[in-house]
Amino acid sequence: EVLKLVDLESTLFIIASKTFTTQETITNALSARSEFLKFLSSRGIPEAGAVAKHFVALSTNAEKVKEFGIDEANMFQFWDWVGGRYSLWSAIGLSVMISIGYDNFVEFLTGAHIMDEHFINAPTENNLPIILALVGIWYNNFFGSETQAILPYDQYL
């Protein structure tokens, strides 16, 4: 849907995947690349090197990034020990920063730091992360709820 709304000639595609093997992400990336290449072909624009100029990767897997056609110089790397679900604070957060703006992203990171400090310093009875963890244990032990999900997702993310 989004590809129909943007100028493909001036669009920068950001592919964010720690392993560059996440099925949903790679499926979307392949679709975007296919539409981009069709667009170039329809305009008589040579495809050689075009993917490398219009796509960047946020990943730890340089080999897969290169296989996709993205120049390794256009790869924002982050540590492989960073869990994929917690990567927002690393280079993976680039798309969020672009979306909300640098100043708002700095505020976002500041808020995360404040919560880290709260977790370290707040007394247990007022410590929100500890309370949330204990509620999860309580639901697991007394209600048999084996999964807890906090999903602040939008289908377009």
**Could you report the per-residue pLDDT of 5-41, keeping only the tens digit for each?**
889 988 999 999 989 998 999 999 999 999 999 999 9
Burial of 27 (0-12, 13-18, 19+ CB in 10 A): exposed
27 found inside a domain: yes
Q: Are residues 77 and 130 in the same domain?
A: no
**What is the value of pTM for the model shown?**
0.75
More confident of the two residues 47 and 36: 36
Mean pLDDT, all residues of the chain: 90
The percent of residues in the chain predicted with pLDDT above 70, rounded, is 95
Answer yes or no: do 36 and 10 share one domain.
yes
Indicate the number of domains in the chain.
2
- Residue 154 belongs to some domain of the structure: no
pLDDT given at position 84: 65
Q: Does residue 39 fall inside a structural domain?
A: yes
User: Do 96 and 115 belong together in one domain?
Assistant: no
Residue 91 domain-assigned (yes or no): yes
Residue 31 region, left (φ>0) first, then alpha (ψ -120 to 50), else beta? alpha
